[in-house]
A and B are shown apart, each in its own frame.
Chain A
Amino acid sequence: MPNSNAVWLTPRQWLVAALGLLALFVSAPMLWKQVETFRPGPDYRVPYALGSDYWLYARHCRAACRQGKIPVIGDSVIWGHYVRPDQTLSHCLNDAMGENRFANLGLDGTHPAALGGLIEYYARAVSGRPVVLQFNPLWMSSAKHDLQTTKEFHFNHPRLVPQFATEIPCYKAPFSARLGIVMERHIPFLSWTSHLRIAYLQGMDLPAWTLENPYGNPLAALARPLPEPQNVEAEKGGPWLSGGSQKRDMAWVDLDSSLQWLFFRRAVERLRARGNRVFVLVGPFNEHMLTAENATAFGTIKTQIERWLARNGVPHLVAAPLASDLYADSSHPLAEGYVLLSKQLMNDPAFQTTVLDRRQ
């Protein structure tokens, strides 16, 4: 060969190299699990900083299911944005039960479009189990929340939303990027490399990390422990009115035309197709924040949601409004709010039959 532009291999050598590479791709994530210290306690939730680490989420999900726990899936309301890990809904449910039956599988910012992807690709382990699935009406509170605006904007978890199947008007990622996301969902090695980036390299790829840490040793960074599931926002939590917020009108999207509701329905259907017993928790939502007229509009939507769930035989609970000072904002309860919410659930007959398997 006249030049060094290639490392020349014969067809047979290519075959050997390909097999070696395949072995590496398959074994590396599995070996990593042996090396990485991951001991989720009873109140474990995926750390806020690792909110887009879906490989870790899947690992947490598998660990929880292995322990026979009931997954509570939803957005930051389930995750517990303004509370400590031992104040979340799953913790309160465990307290009420007197045993660790529920696992916090909430993820900050997972609107229904993303929730569908999370369940489809990273929560396969929950198949066949009872599942508590939360729907936060906040995601229908404007065309932007509902992802219906045609102007592109950055929303949470674009890697979880449908890339090709359903068009999301505000999502304009190039074809190749979408294809890369699809590949990552189906090739565990790729989601594992994302895990390494997010968990150990400050969310950057190695080149960008070395630019920030020019003399740093990336191997030393990879040897660091995983971040803790604590949350700085927990310290900031306080009643919404104390923050100076005022009543407002929300531009609710019609249920029939709502993308987020469409995605949520699909998520429910997907879970049921996998043999899950799905219990839907609608809310909680801070209705004290709405003007009287707006609260009426919200009430209509709530009724429509409830009707759809009832019509389709989906056990559910529309969370009763909490006291105003138990909300940190439009939908996040404070610690005491979660206690009351867990009581609502525990007292709900459908919850008892579907989730706790207690016949009335």
Chain B
Amino acid sequence: MLFQTWSFLIFFLVAYPLYLLVKGTKLRLPWLLATSYAFYAWLDWRYLIPIAYVSAVDFFVVARMARSDRKKRWLWVSITNSLVLLGVFKYGQFATDNVNALLSALRIPLLLPAPGLLLPAGLSFYLFQSMAYVIDAYRGTVERETSLLRYATFVAFFPRLLAGPIERAGNLLPQLSRTPKITARDFADGLSLFVVGLFKKVALANYLALYVNKVYAAPADFQAPALVLATFLFAWQIYFDFSGYTDMARGIAAMMGIRLMLNFNNPYLATSLGEFWSRWHISLSSWFKDYVYIPLGGNRRGSFNTYRNIFLTMVLSGLWHGAAWTFVLWGAVHALGRFATRELERTAFYRDRVPAFVKQAFVFAIVTFAWVFFRAATLGDARLIVTRIFTSGLDNPLCPLLAIVLIVAVWCYQYVFDSRLRWALEFPAVRMGLVVLMLAYLALFAPSGEQPFIYMQF
């Protein structure tokens, strides 16, 4: 079920009042789990099988771990289980394609059959959340959860199920353990988040997708201006799409008295790639930092090892996003960008003399360039787009002016919000006016049709 649909509205209008009724009773968790599973099964009931399986396995693994002297063995049981699931559902096709290509190159007359498995929506999100719990339990940084019901709810909590944030057990499980206190202010805050998220997704992301999809579907038909603009628009589309989802998820959770972690914080205002990753998909980048980068050694063993660790982490992060070489390359471009901005930040001139907006523009340019690899359907397309950007002629891109105007408006809002002029946005009339404008725009002009969230496929 998608947040921006009428179905969700009906679902929420049923689920929420009943949640308010039972929140102080023993029925709270069963109701939360039932609504979460119903929300998920709406997309495809078969999705319930892997999520229930993962919840049960990780719950019992940690239970056994607590009683066992061989904790590490149980840790590996859980991690192997999660990686096998990821491998089968998400990377099976990718691996098969590559093995078949290799066999063909070696002229070996053998063809592995395509796995043809249905990839459950949000699989990477809940698997990583569950893995983090097991690792934290192994490290002793979270307490073992004693209720399977609560643990299953933690894994399946519906607002964040499809595209995060990837919550940590230390944040979400304690909130599920106590009766939430929900005030009118919580509801208002949640609604504030939800409305902005809805606007980002429906009015902006879905709109920009129209032009981006047109250009990226046939890049050979377009010249440099259209390709540059489509990539620029995609940078904003994916931001609006993904941050819109998490805003809505956080908003719904807030209305239920549960605080989910911040996942986006004006990433396109970052002045270095490192800062970008502390502002973009924060729950994933902190996951990779805590469970991959630091265990690899982090920045403790000299520059070479630091860069190697950054590179490996970024490439793995790329692979997390999708099973294709384009995502690997996307991660690699980000790693190189991080090297560049990290080295530049070490020079006094760049650090102290270069204005912040130049650094922001530089970081934005690298990030946008990397999106080419993320968005392109194939490596061939990505190469074609990059080549044509630098070599093709200048024709009329026929890019909707309104799309550019909307992006500029949002950028200005974020810029003002992060500047000394923020007071101008603090007037109640301005804020109420903005909300009315957003909702009126949605009702009047929003694109029709249901567009799924980009990150759901991961």
Chain A contacts to B: CB under 8 angstroms: 2-11, 13-14, 16-17, 20-21, 24-25, 174-177, 179-180, 183, 189-190, 193, 196, 205-208, 210-211, 214-215, 218
Contact = CB atoms under 8 A, between A and B. Distances in A.
A175 B9 CA distance: 12
A207 B398 contact: no
B432 A17 contact: yes
A141 to B, nearest CB: 32
A190 B443 CA distance: 7
Contacts of A218: 402
- Looking at A5, A8, A177, A214, which has the most chain B CB atoms within 10 Å of its CB? A5
A24 B447 contact: no
A183 B266 contact: no
B443 A205 contact: no
B189 interface: yes
Contacts of B400: 207, 210-211, 214
B439 interface: yes
A3 B265 contact: yes
B434 A189 contact: no
Nearest to B209: A207
Given A5-B193, A24-B440, A10 B188 contact: yes
Nearest to B199: A7
A11 B262 contact: no
Given A4-B414, A24-B440, A174-B450, A207 B445 contact: yes
B447 A205 contact: yes
Given A4-B266, A10-B188, 14 more contacts: A5-B193, A5-B197, A5-B250, A6-B195, A6-B247, A9-B191, A13-B432, A14-B188, A24-B440, A175-B7, A177-B450, A205-B448, A211-B214, A218-B402
B109 interface: no
Interface in B26-41: none
Given A6-B247, A175-B7, A208 B447 contact: yes
A4 B267 CA distance: 11
A211 B443 contact: no
B195 A7 contact: yes
B5 interface: yes
Contacts of A179: 5-7, 10
Given A175-B7, A176-B5, A6 B196 contact: yes
A101 B5 CA distance: 45
Interface in B159-199: 184-185, 187-189, 191-193, 195-197
A10 B192 CA distance: 9
Main secondary structure of the interface of B (DSSP, over half): helix
Given A175-B7, A179-B10, A211 B196 contact: no
A6 B432 contact: no
A193 B443 contact: yes
Contacts of A5: 193, 196-197, 243, 247, 250, 262, 264-265
B137 to A, nearest CB: 29
Interface string B350-385: 000000000000000000000000000000000000
B399 to A, nearest CB: 6
Contacts of B195: 6-7
Given A176-B450, A180-B6, A214-B401, A9 B431 contact: yes
A196 B247 CA distance: 30
Nearest to B279: A3
A14 B191 contact: yes
A7 B196 contact: yes
Interface of B: 2, 5-8, 10, 184-185, 187-189, 191-193, 195-197, 206-207, 210-211, 214, 243, 247, 250-251, 262, 264-266, 398-403, 413-414, 417-418, 428, 431-432, 434-436, 438-440, 443-448, 450
A25 B447 contact: no
A210 B414 CA distance: 25
B214 to A, nearest CB: 7
Contacts of B187: 11
Contacts of A13: 188, 428, 431-432
Contacts of B434: 7
B188 A9 contact: yes
B185 A210 contact: no
A207 B401 CA distance: 11
B398 A4 contact: no
B251 A3 contact: no
A211 B211 contact: yes
| 10 tightest A-B CB contacts, nearest first | A179-B6, A210-B400, A206-B445, A4-B417, A176-B5, A207-B207, A6-B192, A11-B184, A176-B7, A6-B193
A24 B447 CA distance: 20
B207 A16 contact: no
Nearest to B400: A210
Given A179-B10, A189-B443, A211-B400, A11 B185 contact: yes
Nearest to A210: B400
Contacts of B401: 210, 214-215
Contacts of B188: 8-11, 13-14
A20 B443 CA distance: 14
A3 B266 contact: yes
- Looking at B250, B432, B450, which has the most chain A CB atoms within 10 Å of its CB? B432
Contacts of B207: 207
B93 to A, nearest CB: 26
B418 A4 contact: yes
- Looking at B192, B247, B428, which has the most chain A CB atoms within 10 Å of its CB? B192
- Looking at B2, B214, B398, B418, which has the most chain A CB atoms within 10 Å of its CB? B398
A8 B431 contact: yes
B286 to A, nearest CB: 16
Contact of A7 (B210, B264, B435): B435
B198 to A, nearest CB: 11
A3 B436 contact: no
A214 B399 contact: yes
B428 A24 contact: no
- Looking at A25, A174, A176, A180, which has the most chain B CB atoms within 10 Å of its CB? A176
A17 B210 contact: no
13 contacts: A2-B262, A2-B265, A3-B265, A5-B196, A5-B197, A7-B196, A9-B191, A11-B188, A13-B428, A179-B7, A180-B6, A205-B445, A208-B210
Contact of A9 (B6, B192, B398, B450): B192
A2 B262 CA distance: 10
Contacts of B447: 205-208
A210 B265 CA distance: 30
Contacts of A4: 266, 413-414, 417-418
A6 B399 contact: no
A11 B189 CA distance: 8
A164 to B, nearest CB: 12
Contacts of B417: 4
Contact of B403 (A11, A196, A210): A210
Nearest to B269: A4
Given A6-B193, A206-B445, A21 B440 contact: yes
A334 B327 CA distance: 63
